[in-house]
Structure 1
Amino acid sequence: MTRSYSFLVNPTSGGGTAPRVVVPVARRLREAGAAVEVTYTSSAADVPPLVKAAVAAGSVVVAVGGDGMLSSVAGEVARAGGVLAVLPAGRGNDFVRQLDLPADADAQVRLLETGEPRPIDLLAVTGGAEVLVAGSVYCGVDARAGELVNRSHWLPSKLQYPVATVRALATYRPFDLAVTLEGDDGVQHSQHRAACVVVANSGYYGKGVHIAPSAVVDDGALDVVVIEAAGRLDLIRSLPKAYDGSHVALDEVTVLRGRRVTISGTYDDGSAVPAGADGEPLGSLGTAADPLTVELRPGAVRMLA
């Protein structure tokens, strides 16, 4: 039986590249006899009703955009019990990098037509309303870098992440971090003087930074990577190690694995530490009285991958 597809396209992703990505794939699928619907939207509020309608119609929901678009669509597809696919068209495309999905249109069409859905884990984030995240949640200097990336549209795409990262590291502030991790070994508590903390389902973030090299998206575990506070120049010098994952061997890096983690902390002046998830702002890290909790949801969404 021929599949039907509902493409949800963020037209602003990747500096406007998303429409150019979706058109040849949608055309090939239509030529093969598939029913294809393409909807353009840059509003997160549009995603839930569009996903519900597509899943109810029996269509594969295809997210076309960056990691933020993928995350928002994945959560809704998981809730609706549908099947998810992705066409990368963002600046980072880190979840696609983790899954090693094809980048050329012919291979993408083959995957959409013949790929078998596989269960993929998601992260459930609570610190208010629950948010489902595909890739990672991060707090501290990397969240600050994410804010700078979102203001860097005047730069060429390949420079936006490196420039934002160096700018964030050059002005970062350390913070006191409390971590409570639940896993097979029970409950672990730790305190850190940190530059950042990352809760990862996928190993990559920040346009190719291999922040959690042991992370796997269907292993039923989340990885917590804490980078301890250090001098600004030391952090900048060690940045290249994060691209190949060798930073985890440094004494300043702690890697934990479990199923549920609660994190909290503030800067020395009591101000909030910024948080982000898959390239989008997520508020703040939270305090001891109102922490951020991230729980793994094993096999939460079925994905063509």
Structure 2
Amino acid sequence: MSRSFTFLVNPNSGGGAAPRVVVPLARRLREAGAAVEVSYTSSPAVVPDLVKAAVADGRVVVSVGGDGMLSSVAGAVVDAGGELAVIPAGRGNDFARMLEVPTSEAAQVELLLGGAPTPVDLLSVVLPGRPSVMVAGSVYAGVDARAGEIVDRSHWLPGRLQYPVAAVRALATYRPVALTVEVDGRRSEHRAANVVVANSRYYGKGMAIAPEASVDDGELDVIVIEAAGRLDLIRSLPKVYDGAHVALDEVKVLRGSRVTVSGSYARSRAVVPIGADGERLGDLPATGADPLVVEVRPGAVKILR
């Protein structure tokens, strides 16, 4: 029996690339005998109902967009007990890169029709006073979250330049954060540029921030980049693309299944931003307050691979 699909498409992803991706792909699937529905939405609030209806009808839910869209869809698929597929059409597409989702239309059709539902880990993320959310790739606080904010205002730049330019601009103006990090009960203090709690190896459009990360090992990779001179950090930026940065003395790598983070800028009331898969998540709880909590959900979602 041929599969049936519900495509959930963020029309704003990739500067409007998502609709251009889904139309020919849906046509080829229908020509192959598959039933395909397509829903366009840029509102995470309506995603759970769309997913619930698709799963109740026995359809594979296909996320078409970027990493932020994927995270909102993945959490809803977990709640509904369904199966997920990923078609990258955003600016970063880092989780699709981690899953090695093909970029050619023909290969994507083959994946959707013949791929095996495979358990994949997700992150459960809780900020004090807010309900938990599911995240696919990574959660980060400090200079990287600041870079994400800059990317959101950099649509005038060509896509290939948005992340590198934002990273340099964020590093050029960063302030160290006094961080408290706890991994499976092991507590450490850091004066850091940023911290990343990663399920996926990639973020920031191909940066291998956590080169040893795996989406099916039931563990999180925690990358702490200690504070250093701004020029030193900018010069080290190219090392992140192949993972060579983890050999630097300023980089600490921790592993575990439950991570808490809190922290503040020294002598400043400014908030420390938190990002998750290219979207702003909120503000980092200050030192001494209830922390940000990130836990791995092993095999939480089945994704066609």
Same fold, TM-score > 0.5, yes or no? yes
Structure 2 residue aligned with 1:51: 51
The residue identity in structure 2 corresponding to 1:161 is: Y
Q: Percent identity?
A: 72
Q: Which runs of 5+ in 1 are unaligned?
A: none
- Residues 1:285 and 2:299 are matched in the alignment: no
- Match status 1:273 vs 2:275: no
2:34 — aligned with what? 34
Kindly provide the CA deviation profile for residues 178-215 of structure 1, in whole angstroms up to 9, marking residues without a partner as x: 01111xxxx21100000000000001000010000010
Specify the code of the residue in structure 1 equivalent to 2:133: V
Partner of 1:19: 19
Give, in whole Å, the separation in 1 of the partners of 2:228 and 2:138: 23
- In structure 1, C-alpha distance between the alignment counterparts of 2:13 and 2:200, rounded to whole Å: 20
**Deviation at 1:284?**
1.2
Structure 2 distance, partners of 1:283, 1:153, is 22
Give yes or no for the alignment of 1:234 onto 2:232: yes
The two structures, once aligned, show a CA RMSD in angstroms of 0.7
Gapped regions of structure 2 (runs ≥ 5): none
Give 2:132's match in structure 1, choosing from 130, 152, 155. 130
2:157 and 2:104 map into 1 onto residues whose CA distance is 25
Q: Do structure 1's residue 214 and structure 2's residue 212 form an aligned pair?
A: yes
2-side partners of 1:19 and 1:244: how far apart? 31
Distance 1:214 1:32 in 2: 38
- From 158, 169, 172, the equivalent of 2:171 is 169
> In the aligned structure 2, how far is the partner of 1:285 from the partner of 1:55?
35
Q: Which SS does the other structure have where 2:149 is aligned?
A: helix
Aligned mates of 2:55, 2:264 — CA distance in 1: 41
* 1:73-222 correspondence to structure 2 within 5 Å: 73-127=73-127, 128-182=130-184, 187-222=185-220
CA distance in 1, matches of 2:167, 2:182: 27
Amino acid at match of 1:107: A
Q: Secondary structure at the match of 2:291?
A: strand
Q: Describe the superposition over 1:205-263 as per-residue Cα deviations: whole angstroms up to 9, x where unpaired.
A: 00010000010000000000000001110000000011110000001000000000000
What is aligned with 1:259?
Answer: 257
In 2, Cα distance between equivalents of 1:151 and 1:129: 28
Q: Distance in 1 between matches of 2:247 and 2:42?
A: 40
Distance 2:99 2:55 in 1: 23
Deviation at 1:44, TM superposition (A): 1.0
State the TM-score, normalized to the length of structure 1: 0.98
Deviations 1:105-142 (A, max 9, x none): 11000110011100000000001210100000000000
2:61 counterpart letter in structure 1: V
Give the drift of 1:3.
0.8
Cα deviation 1:58-88 (Å, max 9, x = unaligned): 1000000000011110111011110000110
2 CA distance for matches of 1:67 and 1:54?
21
CA distance, structure 2, for counterparts of residue 272 and residue 177 of structure 1 = 13
Give the counterpart letter for 2:43 in structure 1. S
Equivalent position SS for 1:290 = coil
Q: Name the aligned partner's letter for residue 266 of structure 1.
A: S
Structure 1 residue runs of 4 or more that deviate by more than 3 Å after TM superposition: none
Q: What SS does structure 1 have at the residue aligned with 2:95?
A: helix
Displacement of 1:270 in angstroms is 3.5
- Aligned to 2:202, the other structure's residue is in SS state coil
Structure 1 CA distance for aligned equivalents of residues 284 and 222 of structure 2: 14
